[in-house]
Amino acid sequence: MILRTVGVLSLALFGMAAPMLAQSDIVDTAVAAGSFTTLVKAVQAAGLVDTLKGSGPFTVFAPTDDAFAKLPPGTLDSLLKPENRDKLRAILLYHVVPGRVDAAEIGHLTSAKTVEGSRVRFQVNGGTVMVDGARVVKADIPASNGLIHVIDAVILPPNQ
């Protein structure tokens, strides 16, 4: 277990994609990376752990802790309250696309339907991939049940 976690952690830290090492699911990969503690806390509060540990495959556009820190003061605390669970679920599921969509495929798409139900928009400009205005800072981190693309902002469904 330690060796597998170290392997996944080094993939996340150094941006190396090696699908044959992807033994952990999306949630465990995010936990091992260490830069998604807020996302993992939100996934737990929204009751989505089992979903994101499921067989998938899923493509997750994962905001870092720094991305969550950019939210207006009090926003995250409000979303984590039990009475706002449905809103939090909708926001998190907007970050998830069913299927395995790698960076090369994103370059050929203008949008994709999310698990939340709305479409997330893609833009590629000079090698920079944008997802609803958030920049993809690291792509194609493998997990046993999908891929993670690290983004620098929290994206919101159109109705939020």
Give the mean pLDDT per block of 10 residues along the chain (160 residues): 34 40 83 93 95 94 96 94 96 97 92 96 91 95 96 91
Is 26 within the bounds of a domain?
yes
Residue type, 11: L
Is 157 within the bounds of a domain?
no
Is 34 within the bounds of a domain?
yes
Strands of 111-113's sheet in order across: 96-98, 58-63, 146-151, 134-143, 128-131, 119-125, 111-113
Q: What was the pLDDT predicted at 160? A: 67
Is 66 within the bounds of a domain?
yes
| Total tally of structural domains belonging to the chain | 1
Task: Say which CATH number the domain at 109 has.
Answer: 2.30.180.10
Is 160 within the bounds of a domain?
no
Q: What was the pLDDT predicted at 19? A: 42
Is 102 within the bounds of a domain?
yes
Is 159 within the bounds of a domain?
no
The half-sphere exposure of 154 on its side-chain side, counting CA atoms within 13 A, is 22
Domain extent for 99: 2-151
pTM of the model: 0.84
Is 158 within the bounds of a domain?
no
Q: What was the pLDDT predicted at 126? A: 85
